[in-house]
Amino acid sequence: MNLSIAIPDSTLQDESTLLHKTKKVSIIARSCAIFKVNQIFIYKDKGENRNDSILLSTLLKYLETPQYFRKQLFPKSQLLNYAGVLQPLNIPNHLVTSNKKLIQKDDLRDGLIINHKGKKFVDIGINRLVPYFGKVKPGTRIAVKIIKAQPEFTIKEIPREDVRDYWGYKVKERGNLFSILSAWSGKIILTSKKGKVFTTHNMEKFVNTHDSMLLVFGTTNKGIHEILGENIKKIQNSRIYNFFPNQSTQTVRLEEAILGVLSIINSYNHTKS
């Protein structure tokens, strides 16, 4: 199943310090990486949280970027003051060696196109630039296959969709939630304690393992019904489910909800595959 999630730009408003906000983003990013989320949509919650929204987006993108070219894409910034507490994702495109002797033909890597002395090269994290002859602009990330290894490296650019391993998530900042849901072409699950209790039986009638699925989460102060209002009736191919029946806490924090819902969906997918 191709999984995406939608979260509000007010995700961090219940944290009072930059340190705690940073830690919260780290938990969310790790949860998305564990369960192979492909896209994270950030929707606007009345546009009142611009600073937090920028922080949320920046840290999610920073964590998803391979360590070997982070400095080139993320210059020094106050937003990264606590980057040291971010837990690494350790996904396949991050767990690659910088030892040129260990790189083999047909290995896949993430690369960053850069301009050096008027020519284009790709940084693939081996302390050596590899010539690039494609049309993509400098500053762009691409997936590459090693065509020839030591001593003269050559690469072939490949579509990210052709990579079988999980290759990280994309972060997309959008407008209000209804606009995201209206444009989504797959199935949608709206998470809410007012929804039907989630069961594998009702899931089987709604979705199969090959569908694209968008999991939608509410804000700190408002649930899905409050956010969407009457528009909730206009959303096609959607269901409203409660994943935490009989909860003892007054609320379920967003980072807890994301981890819990993704875990439940993953268990369902596993039993179906």
Examine the domain organization and report whether 182 and 256 are in the same domain.
yes
CA-nearest of 101, 106, 99, 62 to 84 is: 62
Q: How far is CA 172 from CA 44, 53, 58, 111, 257, in A?
A: 12, 12, 11, 20, 20
Is position 94 within any domain? no
User: Would you place residue 272 in the very low, low, confident or very high pLDDT band (cuts 50, 70, 90)?
Assistant: low
The token pair that represents 169 in the structure block: 């998530």
Distance of CA 119 to the CA centre of its chain: 32
Predicted local confidence at residue 95, as pLDDT: 92
Q: For the chain, percent helix, then strand, then coil, each to nearest 5?
A: 35, 25, 40
Predicted local confidence at residue 26, as pLDDT: 98
- For residue 39, pLDDT over 70 is answered with yes
Q: Quickly list H helices, 44-184.
A: 50-64, 70-73, 177-183
Examine the domain organization and report whether 191 and 268 are in the same domain.
yes
CA-nearest of 142, 156, 65, 54 to 105 is: 156
Query: Residue 211: which CATH number?
Result: 3.40.1280.10
Q: How far is CA 62 from CA 54, 66, 88, 178, 198, in A?
A: 12, 8, 10, 27, 33
Predicted local confidence at residue 221, as pLDDT: 85
* Bridge partners, residue 222, by sequence: none
pLDDT one-digit tens code per residue, 166-200: 999 999 999 999 999 999 999 999 999 999 999 98
Task: Scan for tokens 């922080």, then name that residue.
Answer: 55
Domain boundary among 126, 146, 162: 162
Cis, bond preceding 151 (omega within 30 deg of 0)? yes
Q: Which amino acid is at 201?
A: H
C-alpha–C-alpha distance, residues 110 and 157, integer Å: 10
Question: How many domains is the chain partitioned into structurally?
Answer: 2
Q: pLDDT exceeding 70 applies to what percent of the chain?
A: 98
pLDDT one-digit tens code per residue, 150-161: 888 999 999 988
- For residue 209, pLDDT over 80 is answered with no
Is position 129 within any domain? yes
Average pLDDT, whole number, for the chain?
A: 93
Examine the domain organization and report whether 62 and 112 are in the same domain.
no
pLDDT one-digit tens code per residue, 247-268: 898 889 999 999 999 999 998 8
Examine the domain organization and report whether 149 and 207 are in the same domain.
no
Q: What is the pTM of this model?
A: 0.94
Structural domain containing residue 129: 100-162
Angle between helix axes 254-272 and 18-34 (nearest 10 degrees) is 10
The answer to whether 94 and 34 have CB atoms below 8 angstroms apart is no
pLDDT one-digit tens code per residue, 60-89: 999 999 999 999 999 999 999 999 999 999
Domain boundary among 113, 136, 162: 162
Task: Scan for tokens 């391979």, then name that residue.
Answer: 66
C-alpha–C-alpha distance, residues 273 and 255, integer Å: 27
- For residue 201, pLDDT over 90 is answered with no
The token pair that represents 259 in the structure block: 């981890």
